[in-house]
Amino acid sequence: SWVLEAIADAALAGASGMIGIVLSELFSAAANAANSPGLNPVQLLKVLRSSSQCPTRCLLPAVERLDPPTLSGLIEEINAELETQPEQMSIEDILSRAWMASQVALVEGAEENHGRPDARAAVLMLLVAAMVETYCQENQQDQGAVATSLQMVRDMVPASHLGLPAPSRMNSLVLTWRGEADNSRFQRLRAELEENGVYGAMTGRADMLGIGPRMLLVRSRHPRRVIELLPEKSGMILTRPPLPSEREDPANSNLVSLDSSRAIRPIRPAVLAYASAPGLVGDLANLGATVVLSRRGIPQEVLPIITEMEQEVVQVLPCDQVSAAELANLVRPAKDKGIEVMLAPTQDDLQVLEVARACCQIVSSAIEAPDLIQLQRSRTFDALATQRTWTVSPKTPFELLASSVSPNDIQARILTRKGEDPELIARIQNALSQGAPGIRIELISGGQSGDTLVGVLSS
């Protein structure tokens, strides 16, 4: 059981998607079922049957709209096969029957979903296949279960993916929260999410007092709604950009440094953006940035995130002095890992938004790191030169705000703080219109705890 607990912890610590969370829950349930030093046939049956707890422990209802619901089907298929057998079966019989049942469930689930296999079900099939192969190795028997399973997955997933629709950018934002909460608070949070129509995968590793690290992973069109349900003063919130579409049109991609001697493909430069406004998190992620919600007093472990980007150059965008100091401390450790971290001189959320818009534009995969650094630096300063920003409050002299804009200014953004007075917003809009008649005004519900922010874009 302690080995299974260790695997559960490792799966959760390394989870970067739904599959890691599912594996953690499976191994955690298995650890609870194992109560002897070794696995005999009876213990193995208990471990496999304990997997039926996984769907109720993971918050996964709406994932059915993203992948076919074959996780529960696969587990039911395995357990139905094993329930009909006497408990005197050998370990070899148990594993072979479980492996066969996992293959059947994967194929049937793919057929129900017009040929598209479920990634979670495929991983679980491979997990059972690895158990089969390990048993064969221990007993000097023929191997090949894993290779057979891998080939089966390859046969089900054509390389071209011609029959699959392009992924929806708005539906593929993935928000992760890592924090600590006791069991009762954790269950209340889960209930609140479900009541508000927010679904995803949630798990945790509580200690003997019922307190421990928790992880929530959600796909949502509206990450702000999820953020507002999370504990305000605990945990790191990270939102990842949508997966790129294979058919993304590079016609307007501003490709640079083309080299005919190598394979050329468009890539999106790595950008890590800090934001204090929950209302901007979705916009920044849809631009292509990985977004950390900056909250005072919350430690941000972002070096592993930078490493996961797997690019030589990463542009980081602080939204305030606190995040700038945190990010500055990452430059040397990242360089030791072979990654050049570029710290932009952004100072607020609207500057982060404008620079992210510029720096997330795709480039050529053939561009060398020094050229990409120069290009991103140029994009950053060009973006900052086009926008001026101010913080405003009821004490702000609005005649000064009106005199700060001119007819050359083409657009203004108002990023409102949480609970802002509508009368203040009206006064800001009036001042901007007086100073620059005809200026386009964009009102953004930021929801930040700091002051309302105004940004003006020049032509």
Residue 432: domain span = 387-458
The predicted pLDDT at position 195 comes to 80
State how far the alpha carbon of 231 is from the alpha carbons of 36, 161, 416, in Å.
Answer: 39, 40, 21
Residue 270 has pLDDT above 90, yes or no: yes
| Together in a domain, 132 and 258 | no
Distance CA 286, CA 459 (A): 24
Q: Is residue 18 part of a domain?
A: yes
Q: Does any domain span residue 163?
A: no
What pLDDT is attached to residue 349?
96
Residue 375 has pLDDT above 90, yes or no: yes
As a whole number of angstroms, the distance between CA 453 and CA 276 comes to 12
Residues 179 and 236 in one domain: yes
**pLDDT(414) > 90:** yes
Residue whose C-alpha is closest to residue 49's, from 89, 109, 12, 3: 89
Within 13 Å, how many C-alpha atoms sit on residue 395's CB side?
A: 1
User: Global pTM?
Assistant: 0.72
Same domain, 381 and 391: no
376 and 399 inside one domain: no
359 & 408 share domain: no
Residues 391 and 307 in one domain: no
Same domain for 212 and 139: no
Let me know whether 124 and 200 are in one domain: no
Residues 331 and 184 in one domain: yes
Token pair for 163: 């029959």
Q: Which of 94, 123, 156 is the last residue in one of the domains?
A: 156
Per residue in 227-254, pLDDT (tens digit) is 888 887 778 899 988 765 444 444 444 4
pLDDT (tens digit per residue) in 178-200: 887 777 777 788 788 878 777 66
Q: For position 258, what pLDDT does the model report?
A: 40
For the purposes of burial, counting CB atoms within 10 Å of the CB of 151, is it exposed (0-12), middle (13-18) or buried (19 or more)?
exposed
Same domain assignment for residues 392 and 374: no
Average pLDDT over residues 203-220: 69
Among 61-75, 125-139, 366-380, which is the least confidently predicted range?
A: 61-75
In which band, very low, low, confident or very high, does the pLDDT at 168 lie, cut at 50, 70 and 90? very low
Residue 164 within a domain: no
Structure confidence at residue 233 (pLDDT): 74
Of 10-24, 73-87, 322-336, the least confident: 73-87
What band does 86 get if pLDDT is binned at 50, 70 and 90? low
Whether 64 and 107 map to the same domain: the answer is yes
Answer whether 118's CB lies under 8 Å from 109's CB.
yes
426 and 337 in a common domain:
no
Evaluate if residue 271 carries a pLDDT over 80: yes
Q: 62 versus 372: which is more confidently predicted?
A: 372
Q: In terms of Cα–Cα distance, which of 81, 286, 85 is closest to 167?
A: 286
CA dihedral sign, ordered 14, 322, 458, 427: positive
Q: In the chain, pLDDT over 90 holds for what percent of residues?
A: 27
Decide if 40 is inside a domain: yes
**Structural domain tally of the chain?**
3
Residue 269 pLDDT > 90: yes
316 is written with which tokens? 């980081």
What is the C-alpha radius of gyration for the chain, rounded to an integer number of angstroms? 26
Residue where a domain terminates, one of 98, 125, 156: 156
